[in-house]
Structure 1
C-alpha cells in the first residue's frame, strides 16, 4: 500500500519488522504493514522510526509497487463449485491492498480500528483479510481445488473453475500476468467462461462420447471464449499499453480419455497410480524455447527469463488458439492442473506425483484436502507466487490392457495438436510475466 503521509514523520524510515525501506512520510511498511511512525512516536538518532509492534503476520515480504484496486472474487456467489471462499489462508505475510469491493467499513480484526480504503488499519497497520486470498472449491467427491495468494504477493491473480458433466471432470486454471495491473479480473473471467462452455458443451450431448478430436475442438472453443471474456471484463483497460492478461490451462478427464489445452505456462500433469507420471502440456515460455534448443529442464527453469511467457489471453494476444494434447489412461490416477506457483518448487512429473501420493497417504483421497496440502507445501518453500492446484481422480478404464503412458499419438482415431514448435517461430516478442524470486 502507499504510506499515509503525516506531518512530522521521518523522511526515510526502515521497517522494524522486516527491514524494508519506506518512502518519505510513510506510517506503515509497504512490505508487511508494520507501524513505522505512529503519531507522536519518537525516532532513533539516525532518523529511523523507533521500534514498534507490527501485525501478527508481519513476516519479511517483497516490497512491490501498489497496484490499482479492482473488483475481486467474493465467494463467487452462484458458482456451483464454490465451497469455501474466504476461508482462513495459511499463515504467512500478506502484503498489498485488497480489491476495491473488499474495502468495506468494517472494524480491524486485530485492534478494532478503522480500515482505510487501501485495506490497511489506520491504527495498527494490519491488513484486512480478503476473500480471494484463499479459495477452496469442489465440483464432486472426486474433483476439487485450492487457490491461494501465497506468501509474497499483494493479491491473488490466479483463478480456478471446476465442473463435471456425467463422469467427465472439468478443470480450468488461469494465472494473471503480474506485470499487467488488473490481471486478477482477467483470470477470473477467463476461468469461469471456459468452465461454463466446457460443461455446457459436454452436457449438450446425452452421453458424452470419449472422442479426443471432439474434446480438443471443445477445448479450443473454450480458449476462445475465455479470451473474449477477458476482453469484455477489462474493456476499460484494454487500450492500455500493458492490458490485463492471463494464462489458460484446461483439462477434460474421463475414465478412458484425458485431453488438455493451454496457452502460457500453467500446466496439466497425468499422475497414474502405476507407471510413469507425465507433464501433458508444454509451456509457452522462453524456458520451453531453451529446452527445445537442448538445455536441460533444470537449467532452463533457473534462467533469468524462465517465466517470460510467449502466448496468453488478453487484448494484446496475437493468437488465442490453445494447443491440445490427449492421452488414454491405462488405469486409475490423478489429473492435476496448476499455476506456476506450485511447479516453481517441483517441476518434474515424478516430483509432483510424489507430492500427491504422499498427501493421499496422509490425508486420504479427498481432492480438496490434497490440493490444500500441495498449496501449503509451496507456501512453506517461500510462496513467492500465487498457488493454484486443481485435482480430479480418474478411475481408469475397466478391463483394458492399454500400456501405461499410451498417448493419443498412438491412437489413429484421435487428433491432438503438435506439442512442440521450433524455437524463434513466434510472431512478435515474448510477453514477460513477473518472475518469482525463489
Structure 2
C-alpha cells in the first residue's frame, strides 16, 4: 500500500487520509506555523505543558497557631499545643502596610466563612489605602466564593488613585462617583461569574469600601456592611447608610435599638449578585482632620457594637494603635459576645500630616 508523509510531523500516512492520526494536522497543505509568543501566552493557562514546562508552585507559607502562635503542621494541627487550626478561608488576615490591617473570621455559630475582604495600602502611612469588605448572604449558594471574588475585583478596580476631575469640587465628585460605581459593578460581575447560571439561589453579598488618600476619605456601600470614622477622643460617625428593612424603620421613626433588634434587623433591600435589583452604591466623602480610625466591617461585628460610641468604646478597650492588633481584638470581642455571624473588620490608622513650618532666617552676627 502506498503512503505519503505528514508535512507537519513526518509520519507515514495513507494517501486518502485527510488528517494525520499522529499529530492531527490537516493533510494536503503546508505545515502549520509555529505558535507566536502571544499565542503561547494565551494558550498557556489551558494547556501549559504543550508549549512549556509549568512553573513550580510557590512554597506553602508556614501557618501560625491562633492559640499559641506555634507552627501548624501539614495535618492541620499545631505542633506545639496540638490545637486544630481553622482553614485559611475560616480565618485569614491581611496587613498590606503597618498602618492598615484586617481580619476575616468564621465566628462561632456558622459552619463556614462567607465574609471576605481585600486590602491594599501604600508603604507611606496615610498616603493611600483601600479597604473592601463583602458579606456573603448565608442562604445563597456559593456566597463564600462569590464574596471573595467580588472583594478582590473591587480592590483591583480601585488600585490606581482616584481621579481629580476637571479641577473643581463638582468635577472631582463626579469622577470619584464613576470610579466607585465601576468598582461595585466589577465586584458584582465577579460574584456572578462564580455562580452557576442555572442556580435557583445564586450567590449574593453586601458590599462596603473605603478609599483613603491623604486626608480625603471616599466610601461606598450596598447592603448593610458599614463604614465608620472614629476619631481619637471625639464623637465617631457611621458614614455609610444601610440598605435594609431596619434602616427603613429607623427613617420611619423607630428607634435604632428597636429596629436593629427586631425580626427584620438584617433583611437587606439591595445586594450584589445575579438577582440584584440594581448596582448603584450609596456614596459619601469626608475630609479627616484628627487622628483616628477608618473602620469597614460586616454586621458580624456591628451586631454587638452598632453605634459609633459603642464601637469606639471597644477600640479604646483594646488599648492599641497597631491596626493588626486592634482588628484581632475586635474580632475576639464579637466572638466573646456569641459570634453569631461571620466577622470581618478592616482598619486604616489616620494621622494628620504635621503642618509645614517655615524656617526663620538666622540673625546676622556682627563682629
Deviations 1:23-42 (A, max 9, x none): xxxxxxxxxxxxxxxxxxxx
Structure with the bigger RCO (C-alpha within 8 Å, sep 6+) is: 2
Aligned residue number for residue 383 of structure 1: 339
State the shift of 1:366 in Å.
1.4
Match of 1:277 in 2: 236
Query: Aligned residues, how many?
Result: 282
TM-score by length of 1: 0.60
Structure 2, unpaired ranges of 5+: 1-56, 69-73, 357-367
The question of whether the paired residues in 2 share the 8 Å contact of 1:255 and 1:395 is answered with no
Q: Which residue of 2 aligns with 1:141?
A: 98
Secondary structure, in 3 states, of the residue corresponding to 1:169? strand
Q: Contact 1:158/1:176 (CA < 8 Å) preserved in 2?
A: yes
- Please report the RMSD computed on the Cα atoms of aligned residues, expressed in angstroms: 2.8
SS in 2 for 1:131: coil
Alpha-carbon displacement from aligned partner over 1:333-369 (angstroms, at most 9, x marks no partner): 110000000000110001111111221x2xx321111
**2:274 corresponding residue in structure 1:** 315
Name the CA distance, whole Å, in 1 between partners of 2:278 and 2:62.
33
Per-residue displacement from partner, 1:52-75 (whole Å, max 9, x unpaired)? Answer: xxxxxxxxxxxxxxxxxxxxxxxx
Alpha carbons of 1:300 and 1:255: their partners in 2 closer, same or farther (altered >3 Å)?
A: same
Inter-partner Cα distance in structure 1 for 2:116 and 2:67: 17
Q: Once the 2 structures are TM-superposed, how far is the Cα of residue 254 of structure 1 from its aligned partner?
A: 2.7
Q: Check conservation: 2:142, 2:194, Cα contact below 8 A.
A: no
Q: CA deviation at 1:238?
A: 3.3
After superposing the two structures, state which structure 1 stretch, 253-262 or 169-178, moved more: 253-262
Distance in 1, matches of 2:245 and 2:62, equals: 34
The aligned runs of 1:166-185 (5 Å cut-off) are 167-185=127-145
Equivalent residues in 2 for 1:295-310, closer than 5 Å: 295-310=254-269
User: Is contact 1:87-1:131 (8 Å) kept?
Assistant: no
Scaled by the length of structure 2, what TM-score is found? 0.71
The aligned runs of 1:34-113 (5 Å cut-off) are 87-89=64-66, 109=77
Any idea what the Cα deviations from partners look like across 1:361-404, whole Å, max 9, x if unmatched? 2xx3211110000000000010010100100011235559xxxx
Q: 2:188 aligns with which of 217, 227, 247?
A: 227
Candidates 88, 96, 106, aligned match of 1:131: 88
Counterpart check, 1:244 vs 2:200: no
Deviations 1:211-263 (A, max 9, x none): 554333221111011001111122xx233221011111000113321111000
Q: Which has the higher Rg, Structure 1 or Structure 2? A: 2
- Give the secondary-structure state (helix, strand or coil) at the position aligned to 2:183: helix
